[in-house]
Each structure stands twice: as structure tokens, then as C-alpha cells.
Amino acid sequence: MRFLLPPLALLLVLLLFSPRPSQAPEGGPGVRLEGVEFLLFPEAEGVEWRFTAREMVEEGGLFRIRGGLAGGRYVEGRLDLRLFAPEVVVEPGDDLRAPYARVEILKGCYRLDLSAPGRGEVRIRQKEGFLAPWVRIEAPNLRGEALNFRSDFALERMEADRPRFEFPAGGTFGPCTVEGGSA
């Protein structure tokens, strides 16, 4: 027993004072990328989303893209719509969530404000389209707002509560203001 005490004491001293690898803080982001260009390929055939932003952070299996976010939805290689938001969270199934967003749909020359700060989140479901607690729509042939807005990406099937829309009598409200858009 006397012969075992010095090696055990030495081992104890080495364990106490040996350098240890630093540990990452718990609950911190898994991955952080800065100055990102991000491509998203949902299940829909021929559809691709392209985003640019200051950073992308992975948090528990979700990707949060934020800071100067601009995105576009491309169908068969052609720009279909533009998306601007303070941040977008990519959820399982490639659905998107944002605190609020501005969308420009080229065909029809639509500009949509989906929700607003403090009004609730916007959801963009790849298989369904837009869902927002509030919307303001502007186009050469339509303008107005509504609550509990739901629509496909082409605005061909819209549902909303308490819609208040105006249609110009025999003309338009003005020219198309969406870059690359056509009425």
C-alpha cells in the first residue's frame, strides 16, 4: 500500500492541473455563417428559393436567416416573386416563417405587406402559399387590406376576413411599380 500512494498522488495532481478542452456554452447556436447566399429546394418540382443575408444561424434543427434579408422564388429558372423580411426561419419541410414580410409578385405586378411589427407571424408554406394575420395589397388593378389572409403564390385562390379592397373604375391605379413585373 505504501508503494501505491506516491503514484496515486502524482496521478491526482496531474488530473487536477492538466489543461482541459474548453466546452461550448449550452444552448448556444450550433452553426453561424456570415455573409450568406442560401439556396432552398422544396419538394415542388422546378421550384428554388435563393436568399442573401448578413448571417444564418442553426438553432435546434431550424435555420434562421437574418440581417438585410432578400430572397427570390424561382420557378423553372425564372424569378416568380421577391421576398424581403428582417429574418426568415426555415422550418422542417422547408416552410418559412417571418415576423413580417414584403413580397413582390412579378406576374400581376402585386406588392404585398404581409403582417407588420407586432401583428403576428407570417408563414410561407411551400405546398400552400402565404398565411398572414394581416395583408395590404397594391397592384395596378387592386388595392386594399384584409385580416387572416391565405393565398397561393399566384394569388389565384385568396381567402381573408374583413377584406376592404378597391378596384379602379375603368382603368388602373397607375403603372406597375414592381421591377420586372407585368400586369
Q: How far apart are CA 58 and CA 30, in angstroms?
A: 5
SS3 135: strand
Percent of the chain residues topping a pLDDT of 90: 59
Q: Which pLDDT score is estimated for 3?
A: 47
Q: Mean pLDDT, to the nearest integer, of 19-26? A: 47
Please state the rounded mean pLDDT for residues 65-86: 93
CATH match of 29-166 with 2.60.450.10: yes
Q: How large is the greatest C-alpha to C-alpha distance in the chain, in angstroms?
A: 106
Residues 68, 92, 73, 156: is their CA dihedral positive or negative?
A: negative
Domain ranges of the chain: 29-166
The whole-number pLDDT of residue 16 equals: 45
Q: What is the 3-state secondary structure (H, E, C) of 83-119?
A: EEEEEEEECHHHCEEECCEEEEECECCEEEEECCCCC
Cell matching residue 11 = 496521478
Cell numbers standing for residue 44:
415542388
Average confidence (pLDDT) over 87-98: 91
pLDDT category at 53 given cuts 50, 70, 90 is: very high
Q: Look at residue 18 and give its three-state secondary structure.
A: coil
- Alpha-carbon distance of 89 to 24, in angstroms, equals 24
Question: Is 38 a residue whose pLDDT tops 90?
Answer: no
Q: Distance of CA 162 to CAs 142, 143, 146, 165, 168, Å? A: 16, 14, 6, 10, 20
What are 98-141's pLDDT values in tens digits?
999 999 999 999 999 999 999 999 999 999 999 999 999 999 98
Average of per-residue pLDDT across 75-85: 95
